[in-house]
């Protein structure tokens, strides 16, 4: 019997701290559990670079953006947010 197929086989649940310094949209998908379109939109909204045709966002940009937006996230409890940050930075 072969391993899992579909999207579940593409998921890597390692935290952001174990990821490369420059993150791809795929890294954002796997860490945050978001879709492809949303991950590309996030990359385009934040300071980013292109390596060839591949877009990348620096890991510290993601962490800083989450910390800055924390005050504006009324729907997220502080406990949930803290768990997200712990997952991201290890």
Return the percentage of the chain with pLDDT > 90, whole number. 36
Q: Of 24, 58, 59, nearest to 40 (Cα)? A: 24
- Examine residue 2 and state whether it is found in any structural domain, yes or no: no
CA dihedral for 26, 27, 29, 30, sign (positive or negative)? positive
Range with the poorest average pLDDT among 2-6, 73-77, 78-82: 2-6
User: Per residue in 42-71, pLDDT tens?
Assistant: 999 999 999 999 999 999 998 888 877 766
Domain containing 61: what range? 10-89
- Examine residue 39 and state whether it is found in any structural domain, yes or no: yes
Whether the per-residue pLDDT at 73 is higher than 70: the answer is no
- Examine residue 5 and state whether it is found in any structural domain, yes or no: no
What pTM value is reported for the model? 0.66
Q: Tell me how many domains the chain contains.
A: 1
């Amino acid at each position: 019997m072969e391993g899992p197929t579909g999207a579940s086989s593409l998921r890597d649940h390692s935290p952001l701290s174990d990821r490369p310094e420059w993150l791809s949209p795929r890294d954002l998908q796997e860490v945050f559990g978001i879709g492809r379109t949303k991950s590309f939109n996030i990359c385009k909204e934040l300071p980013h670079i292109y390596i060839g045709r591949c877009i990348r966002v620096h890991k510290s940009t993601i962490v800083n953006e989450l910390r800055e937006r924390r005050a504006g996230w009324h729907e997220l409890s502080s406990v949930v947010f803290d768990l997200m940050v712990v997952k991201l930075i290890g």
